Amino acid sequence: MTNKQPSPLHAADGIVALNPSLLIMSANHVVRWIIGHEPKPGKVFPFDKLFHEPDLTRIRAALNFTLETGQPSLGMTCDLHTDSGGTFPCGYGILPMLDISQRITGILFIFQRYSDSHASLKTEKKRQTLRHTPPESEILIEELPEGVFTITTHWRISSFNKTAETITGFKREEVIGKYCWEIFRSNKCKVSCPLRRALDSGQSAMDQEVRIVDKKGVRQAMLVNTNVLRDATGLVLGAVETFRPLTGEIHPPDGVECDQSFADIVGRSESMQRIFKIIPDIAASDANVLICGESGTGKDLIARAIHNYSLRSKGPYIAVNCSALAETLLESELFGHEKSAFTGADRAKSGRFEIARGGSIFLDEIGELRAELQVKLLRVLEQREFERVGGTQLIPMDARIISATNKNLQEAIQNGTFRRDFYYRLRTVPITLPPLRERKEDIPLLVNHFIKRFNKRYNKNVRSADTKVMRFFQNYHFPGNVRELERAIEYAYVFVKGPVIFMSNLPAKEEFQLPEDGNADEMNMDKQNHSREAILRALAKSSGKRQQAAEMLGMSRTSLWRAIKKWNLN
């Protein structure tokens, strides 16, 4: 180890990617310039020729430490020996490369030559005539399958590799010198930025999920690793970030423009992609939204996503379960009450509509409201003002209404339990969520999504579900929808010991509602009670337009097609 104070001679770092066996995967142009020859992929990196004892022992120990623990080794110095006999002080660091399961797939060996007053000036001049110093934009490994970029301490992008260009659509010359948030426009740029946390704490941040917006405006979910870049003296020079698409694909699948996830909602199916596509437009408006779907399909997640992407996102988000409150208390909860308005009202209280001012109010299970309260809410929707219980002062209503139900409101209207005018006020924009049995192609994505979530919650390292488990999930009809799948995975986490979830880890089969004849769709259709008469009425009112009839019935177009086939209504 050299005791001399190094001073930077070149700003560019040599970076070489090595697999766990220390075989060369790829290297940048600076490595060729520093060591004097072309490092060949598949060959062992020549540590023993470049570094001599005792430096070589320390480097090998640092390599083993990073490979065994997944932790970086940074801020070290040694002497580098060239093919031509020259010796130069060198600073180096080692960063791990991890996959989504935090398994070590290799390392980045980063090193930089420093000037030395006792170094051979003749050798240095000879080397400078052989190769020119590469531009800073080429300091990162070009052939890595991950996007890699670095920033200075002033948040300016200083390098950008080829994969980063491919993922983002931006060319290197377009981004160098720009602030990183101008290029990536991530949902975490302003809050909980992984790079900021790395710079502030001095520690690496692994497997951070962020969403960026590429040059074409398409959102992409990314898995991000960040680390601080220091010189040999420990001075922070900036930070490095590696990123790759969370789905393992650089581009969305053919014909799909949206991500396979939106907020905390996951799905690659056509029905979910349609919903992902319209949520930003719905959020940008201030129209009332009615979300229909069976229990457990994620209506609350859709409501929260609409709020979070709206202009009201900085305001409160108030959720009210209309079926969970006693009828005598619901009016007071929604509108508030004045002191002495009823027995026990010893003080005035603001209602949920007041508290939600400037934000959104989510009325879940709206189909459970009694008729008298429907009238009062209808008046609020029409006049945009209300009174507290026992009060006389009109209070402006400044909250967006998002409601949801698992009931067939069209049937409720026919039965006289739900007001037609109230229904049409609520459903300015309707959204119908498909049941999980109608989008089974989303089950593998959902399983991986829940595994990732529960790994963090339970501090485990589960990697996948056994093929028998996935086959069972694909054949099961999931009457509880996504919520039932989530609970099954969480149950498994109580008992799973290794990296794979097996059938023995799942709840007992009798806890799953298995249909006797195996016809899950027909069983669920009977459960929903979409009668022949109701379907005929909807088709008549929609002039035979199936999509419109399905929305009236609170079901998907696929379910309506099956019902038509069942009742022989062609």
How many Cα neighbours within 13 Å face the side chain of 516?
0
Three-class SS state of 295: coil
Domains 1-139 and 145-251 are alike in CATH topology: yes
CB 280 within 8 A of CB 302: no
Domain-wise residue ranges, the chain:
1-139, 145-251, 285-432, 436-520, 530-566
With beta carbons less than 8 A apart as the criterion, state whether 24 and 45 touch.
yes
- Do the Cβ atoms of 409 and 367 come closer than 8 Å? yes
Q: How far apart are CA 398 and CA 356, in angstroms?
A: 8
pLDDT of the residue at 236: 76
Supply the pLDDT for residue 360.
Answer: 93
What's the confidence (pLDDT) of residue 114?
Answer: 62
DSSP string, 341-372: SSTT--S-EE-HHHHTTTSEEEEETGGG--HH
Category of 153 on φ-ψ map: left (φ > 0), alpha (ψ -120 to 50) or beta: alpha
Question: Between 3.40.50.300, 2.60.120.560, 3.30.460.80, 3.40.190.10, what CATH number should domain 285-432 receive?
Answer: 3.40.50.300
Whether the Cβ atoms of residue 452 and residue 488 lie closer than 8 Å to each other: no
> Is domain 530-566 in CATH 1.10.10, yes or no?
yes
Decide: 80 and 114 in contact? Cβ < 8 Å. no
CB atoms within 10 A of CB 290: 25
* Cα–Cα distance for residue pair 474/466, rounded to 1 Å: 13
- DSSP summary character for residue 3: -
Alpha-carbon gap, residue 569 to 498, rounded angstroms: 52
Q: What does residue 120 show for φ and ψ, rounded to 5 degrees?
A: -75, 110
pLDDT tens per residue, range 338-361: 887 777 777 888 888 889 999 999
Say if residues 163 and 17 touch (Cβ distance below 8 Å).
no
The CATH fold assigned to 145-251 is: Beta-Lactamase (3.30.450)
CB atoms inside a 10 Å sphere around CB 441: 12
> Pick from 543, 564, 544, 542: which is nearest to 552 by CA?
542
Give pLDDT, residue 288. 92
Q: For residue 570, which amino acid is it?
A: N
Q: Answer yes or no: are the C-beta atoms of 473 and 484 closer than 8 Å.
A: no
Query: CB under 8 Å to 146, separation ≥6 — which residues?
Result: 97, 163, 242, 243, 244
Which residues are CB-neighbours of 294 under 8 A, at least 6 positions away?
406, 433, 435, 481, 528
The answer to whether residues 317 and 359 touch, using CB atoms and an 8 Å cutoff, is yes
Candidates 3.40.50.720, 3.30.450.20, 3.40.47.10, 3.40.50.1000; CATH matching 1-139: 3.30.450.20
Q: In terms of Cα–Cα distance, which of 232, 521, 292 is closest to 412?
A: 292
Residues of the chain scoring pLDDT < 50: 1-11, 115-140, 247-258, 516-529
Q: Which CATH class, in words, describes the domain spanning 436-520?
A: mainly alpha
- Return d(Cα 109, Cα 15) in angstroms, integer: 6
Query: What type of residue sits at position 377?
Result: L
Buried/exposed code over 146-184 (b: 16+ C-beta within 10 A; e: otherwise)? bbbbbbeeebbbbbbbebbbebbebebeebbeeebeebb
Distance from C-alpha of 167 to C-alpha of 220, rounded to nearest angstrom: 9
> CB neighbours of 558 closer than 8 A, spacing ≥ 6?
434, 438
10 three-class SS: coil
- The region, left, alpha or beta by phi > 0 then psi within -120 to 50, assigned to residue 215 is alpha
Pairing mode of beta strands 289-292, 429-432: parallel
Query: DSSP assignment, residue 504?
Result: G
Q: Is 350 exposed, middle or buried (0-12, 13-18, 19+ CB in 10 A)?
A: middle
The pLDDT assigned to 505 comes to 92
